[in-house]
């Protein structure tokens, strides 16, 4: 899409399918990471500290220029930079397949399940799917400038949510009430929690602020951390962590594409006004939990309007401004309209395109056939199985086999994206670097340590710069530039 770089970071759940397991999920995560880098040689491990919680060897860059690493015990995959939605869908699915193939090669296929979701039903834990969008430094990054984005993000869950059974308990976070800072849980004291059979978003219950800088406490609708991973004089990276992980390729493309267009509207000063939501965090959760799916929103003006109406106003503004801009923009506009139209009718029309609708249809069908109540634990198990990345077990893949799923890419493109980066962003140059290091360096044996090189590492790779053998660092500040030939020339001179 025009002037946009996209990226997705996915944290995976790992389920041990044993009543009395011999190992923890974190132990299995370490085995998978080591297999990827030491046995399959899919990339090069970091030799330096990336942070206090990322020691040498915690993860590394792959040949497709993405990163695979451990984050608080979770396997996490950060896609390479993508300039098109189709590339993004392919590299996102490639990360799933890289990990699932490693599990099968290790012989863990029956022992563990890799779950691409965002919640643990038993512990109330949540893990993220973070979205990244490159914008110009001129982007109006202020509460006033971002208010249209908040309204869009709060309401887009009606087609981007992955759905879940039940609800999370009130979150442990501090929020501002008038001039006081109070614990959010205190707002719920004395009001009994009602049973929520099903809601459309997994992350909504875990978002407790409209704006906040850090990601692990006080998760916000908009993350305010300024870390462009590019030339800071030209670019800013919009980093979002409120969204769900999507199994449906269509939902991934529509989520990223519509958000990209709304960011463009804001950049150009063309976003619709008068849609500021009165209480964004509470509304985010109310929309998700609305069992009647009316999705009524109260605006700061006092007007009540549906989430679909809000989305249609953003669609109309984007159509007026950008129709004909490029092929992917026209696809997004057409499908945005189609999905909003279908949301006004029978939700089953959305099966195979929208994850919450696909999951709800599967759960309702099973529940009615077996005469189960919503609180039956069997349904929670099926909820997880929708996200299982093993193709012969995952319920999403069952829909795919039945021809109910709208595909955005092909198996061949996904296989290619497992090894190769997009060729029209700086990921191409980083991929050349990783391949060079794999070919040039001795292959580390399984279990070997990288600690000896922690002070004088043979290479240091970050998203926007790298250094090899202590020579001059090579910056890559422009994500739109491939740097491929420059990287090759630089490596030949070493």
**Active-site amino acid positions:** 71
Q: Which two tokens stand for residue 177?
A: 């009430």
List the one residue out of 359, 432, 416, 372 whose CA is nearest residue 202.
359
**Rounded CA separation 398/492 (Å):** 49
How many CB atoms sit inside 10 A of residue 378's CB? 12
Query: Which are the contacts of 113, defined by CB distance < 8 A and separation ≥ 6?
Result: 14, 15, 17, 384, 388, 389, 390, 393
Whose tokens are 């493309």? That residue is: 253
Rounded to 5 degrees, what are φ and ψ at 28? -65, -40
Radius of gyration (C-alpha) of the chain in whole angstroms:
22
Q: Which two tokens stand for residue 142?
A: 């202020």
Rounded to 5 degrees, what are φ and ψ at 228? -70, -25
Rounded to 5 degrees, what are φ and ψ at 275? -115, 15
**Rounded CA separation 8/88 (Å):** 8
Strands 209-212 and 220-223: parallel
List the one residue out of 117, 101, 99, 1 whose CA is nearest residue 59.
99
Region class of 88: left (phi > 0), else alpha (psi between -120 and 50), else beta: alpha
**Rounded CA separation 28/30 (Å):** 5
**Rounded CA separation 237/216 (Å):** 18
Paired residues of 174 in beta bridges: 183
**Rounded CA separation 55/51 (Å):** 7
**Rounded CA separation 267/127 (Å):** 30
List the one residue out of 126, 127, 99, 94 whose CA is nearest residue 113.
99
**Rounded CA separation 146/148 (Å):** 6
CB-neighbour burial class of residue 455 (10 A; exposed 0-12, middle 13-18, buried 19+): exposed
Contact of 157 with 200, CB cutoff 8 Å: yes
**What does each C-alpha distance from 280 to 283, 351, 407 come to in angstroms?**
5, 28, 33
- With b for 16 or more beta-carbon neighbours within 10 A and e for fewer, the 335-354 pattern comes to bbeebbebbeeebebbbbbb
């Amino acid at each position: 899409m025009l002037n946009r770089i996209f990226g997705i970071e996915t944290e995976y759940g790992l389920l041990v399918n044993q009543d009395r397991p011999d190992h923890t999920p974190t132990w299995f995560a370490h085995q998978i990471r080591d297999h990827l880098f030491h046995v399959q040689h899919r990339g090069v491990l970091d030799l330096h500290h990336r942070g206090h919680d990322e020691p040498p060897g915690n993860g590394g860059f792959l040949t497709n220029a993405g990163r695979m690493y451990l984050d608080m015990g979770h396997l996490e995959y950060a896609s390479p930079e993508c300039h098109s939605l189709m590339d993004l869908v392919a590299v996102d699915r490639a990360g799933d397949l890289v990990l699932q193939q490693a599990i099968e090669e290790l012989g863990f296929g029956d022992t563990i399940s890799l779950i691409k979701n965002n919640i643990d039903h038993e512990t109330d834990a949540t893990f993220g799917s973070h979205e990244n969008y490159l914008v110009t430094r001129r982007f109006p990054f202020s509460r006033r400038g971002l208010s249209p984005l908040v309204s869009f993000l709060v309401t887009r869950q009606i087609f981007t949510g992955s759905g879940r059974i039940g609800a999370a308990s009130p979150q442990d976070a501090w929020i501002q009430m008038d001039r006081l800072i109070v614990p959010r849980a205190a707002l719920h004291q004395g009001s009994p929690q009602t049973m929520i059979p099903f809601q459309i978003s997994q992350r909504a219950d875990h978002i407790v602020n409209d704006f906040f800088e850090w990601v692990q406490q006080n998760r916000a609708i908009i993350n305010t951390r300024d870390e462009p991973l590019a030339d800071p004089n030209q670019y800013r990276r919009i980093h979002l962590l409120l969204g769900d992980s999507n199994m449906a390729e269509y939902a991934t493309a529509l989520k990223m594409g519509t958000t990209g267009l709304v960011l463009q509207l804001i950049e150009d000063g063309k976003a619709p006004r008068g849609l500021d939501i009165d209480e964004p965090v509470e509304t985010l959760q109310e929309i998700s939990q609305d069992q009647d799916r009316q999705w009524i929103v109260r605006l700061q003006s006092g007007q009540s309007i549906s989430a679909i109406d809000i989305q249609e106003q953003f669609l109309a503004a984007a159509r007026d401004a950008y129709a004909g801009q490029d092929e992917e923009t026209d696809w997004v506009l057409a499908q945005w309209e189609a999905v909003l139209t279908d949301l006004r009718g029978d939700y089953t029309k959305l099966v195979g395109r929208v994850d919450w609708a696909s999951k709800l249809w599967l759960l309702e069908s099973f529940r009615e056939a077996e005469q189960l109540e919503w609180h039956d634990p069997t349904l929670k198990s099926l909820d997880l199985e929708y996200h299982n990345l093993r193709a012969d077990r995952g319920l999403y893949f069952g829909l795919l086999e039945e021809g109910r799923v709208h595909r955005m890419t092909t198996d061949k493109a996904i296989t290619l994206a497992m090894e190769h980066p997009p060729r029209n962003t700086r990921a191409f140059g980083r991929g050349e670097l990783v391949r060079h290091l794999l070919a040039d360096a001795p292959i580390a044996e399984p279990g070997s340590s990288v600690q000896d090189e922690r002070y004088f590492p043979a290479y240091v790779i970050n998203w926007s710069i790298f250094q090899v053998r202590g020579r001059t660092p090579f910056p890559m500040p422009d994500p739109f530039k491939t740097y491929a030939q420059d990287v090759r020339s630089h490596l030949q001179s070493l």
